[in-house]
Amino acid sequence: MELRELTQDIHYHGVSRTVIGDAPLLAWAQSRNLSPWEAQVAALRQNFTLERYFSHGCSLDLGQQLRLCEGRVLVCGCGGLGGVLISLLARAGVGFLRLVDGDVFAPTNLNRQWFCDASSIGHLKAQVCAARLPDLNPFTRVEAVSEPLTEGNALTLAADIDLALDALDNIAGRLLLARVAKERRIPFIHAAATGWCGQVSTFLPDSRRSLLDVYGNRQYRDATEMTTGIIGTTASVVGSLQAAEAIRLLIGQEPAYDDGLYYLDSERTITKACLV
């Protein structure tokens, strides 16, 4: 059976698309001995939208959706920020996610980490996230790396990747990821969150600034930051801003957070601090 025979035309609020549902596309993939991801790409290249992406409407055209589905992203950290990134990017249709985290879920993660619940306590974060991704999007390929980012593995983890995302909880790891992204000449999106506040910044391969302009010689979080804790909504908002930036870059748009540090105080507003 050809793909066209499995599609239907949907018209909604002025948007018209020829779409295909998950179940028929997955069955078609199996009949053709294709992976779900390969079937998804085949459908998009024939100008068929997956029904799950229909609500993107005119915000993403078919070419941009295809770029997302062909995108390869490294997410370092699968906790508060990382869980938001993983969920939103998979739902958006990003084709490959490499998840790096050597930690396990703990009860203290329950207030903010999207993949943490009673059943995941004590289990490796990267493995839990990877196991649950097919329920969010069976067309997204995922690789779980249950070890911390180190000097020994960073270059390998950043190979064959289009974009590196910092969802780490330590400055040394962030600086390492930023340096490796620069060496690999891939865009790097930094984010951090504490209490009611968070920050986002983007560094392109040819950016004049770097994460060193944010942290200087600091290698560790200060005591005040450690005792402040974090509100669940802060991680969700900052992670969403970071995910939106990732989508912009993957579809070929200009970044919103380059050449500056965008600071969120969720009790007040978002401001920009220039990196001079």
- Block means of pLDDT (10 residues each) for the chain, 276 residues, are 91 83 97 97 96 92 97 98 98 98 97 96 98 97 98 97 97 96 97 94 94 81 68 95 98 93 82 57
* pTM of structure: 0.94
**b/e per residue, 201-237, with b = 16+ CB within 10 A?**
bbbbeebebbbeebbeeeeeeeeeeeeeebbeebbbb
State which residues form the domain around 13: 3-64
3-class SS at 144?
A: strand
One domain for residues 49 and 151? no
One domain for residues 145 and 54? no
One domain for residues 128 and 265? yes
One domain for residues 129 and 175? yes
Domain boundary (27, 42, 64) is at: 64
- pLDDT one-digit tens code per residue, 224-253: 666 678 999 999 999 999 999 999 999 999
Position 276 scores a pLDDT of 43
- Residue 254 CA: distances (Å) to CA of 22, 104, 226: 31, 36, 34
Identity of residue 183: E
- pLDDT one-digit tens code per residue, 185-231: 999 999 999 999 999 999 999 999 999 999 987 765 665 666 678 99
Domain boundary (20, 45, 64) is at: 64
Domain boundary (15, 47, 64) is at: 64
One domain for residues 247 and 223? yes
CB 137 within 8 A of CB 93: yes
One domain for residues 21 and 136? no
One domain for residues 38 and 82? no
Number of domains in the chain: 2
One domain for residues 46 and 107? no
One domain for residues 34 and 83? no
One domain for residues 178 and 205? yes
